[in-house]
Structure 1
Amino acid sequence: MKELVIFDLDGTLLNTIADLGIATNYALKKMGFPEHPLSAYPAMVGNGVKKLLCRALPSGFDNDDTVAELRTYFKEYYDEHSADHSVPYPGIPQLLENLRDKGVKIAVASNKYQEAVEKLIGHFFPNLEWAAVEGQKEDVPVKPDPSIVFDILSKSPTPKATVLYVGDSGVDMETARRACVESVGVTWGFRPMTELKEYHADHIVNTADDIFELVNREY
């Protein structure tokens, strides 16, 4: 049985794409750049806000100064509206409660900036105890660098053989591989199943219940 489950946030625990897209469009409009349909944003997210903004900008405009200014406008909007349209995916609240009741530790590893991660987790899952809630921090490399997983394991020491890492993208599967922990790709997120297969997910699941079954599996 697994002792710790580490979850990605966007596209795994929460469907946040509308709020991310609206905040990005707000920032683009503020600076006079063209906006994107919300349907375009699933392909842009996954590597942190800086990379999202780089991808949203027209070609040739993704320099450091422009991205930094765009990020200021993004945060201005997103800090106030991050939960306007975001919702947990079906079965996720019950899964987290079931893991808690079974004594399995849970943690979050996200490329979203730390303040926003803490706010969303506190808003949507206020009654759960987390072993760690880790977002993007200054001077810490973003996923797929495994540092975020190592930070979680330093706060909640757990044998790697008893850890599951759950995410919706190739970035997540690569993070788990580099951290030498078992990976679970979910099909309800922002990326297609083909990407999960391409990045060699150890397991691919279609429902939250499937994750609970993997946690309980005897190895």
Structure 2
Amino acid sequence: MEKYLTPTYYIDSDHPKVLEFAGRNCNPVETDIQKAVSLYYAVRDGIRYNPYSIVPPKKSMKASSVLNKGYGFCVAKAVLLAACARSMKIPARLGFADVKNHLNTERLKKLMGTDVFMYHGYTELFLNNIWVKATPAFNLELCNNFNVKPLEFDGTKDSIFHVFDKKGNRHMEYVKEYGSFADLPWDTIIATLMQNYPRYFKELEMRSTDFSAEALTENQ
């Protein structure tokens, strides 16, 4: 388990700001499950989901950088949750998958050219001797604006995708799994994204400054 507890360049769980954020959102007398749940909601709702924030520089994907910005896309938020968990001595690693019917808007769909999101990221936490998956990506306000039920997490079972929206329509679907990683394979991820979504990285003026407001406008 040592490699799932050790700080890395990206999962910088020893950074003062990560330690402060995790400590502020956890009670030292709580169980590991209680701490994990508290950290999940702190990252889910305290850090805004922004799919327009993907940029190549490695430093942008450090947990402490995500915390400083206050926003990030799914992989960035998964990295932050992993760092917070490790700072609380909870083993954590990263998981990735390609998903269809991801939370999307017409603007973002045009930029990506598809409804398949590659390398959607989530966190895996070792709790009560099992690995449990948690996806802290989509904050409550954003889910409400999309008319999608927010993902809840209780520390005992996987919480990885929105199967149905609030109207009962099928929503997110996992189509390919990449497995689990002790650290962020950023070089592989960003190369894949840049190859498959070239317009996203070239037409920067099309990126929105407020994805949540964009979602609200389309889903009213």
Normalising to structure 1: TM-score of the pair?
0.30
Structure of greater relative contact order (alpha carbons < 8 Å, 6+ residues apart): 1
Normalising to structure 2: TM-score of the pair?
0.30
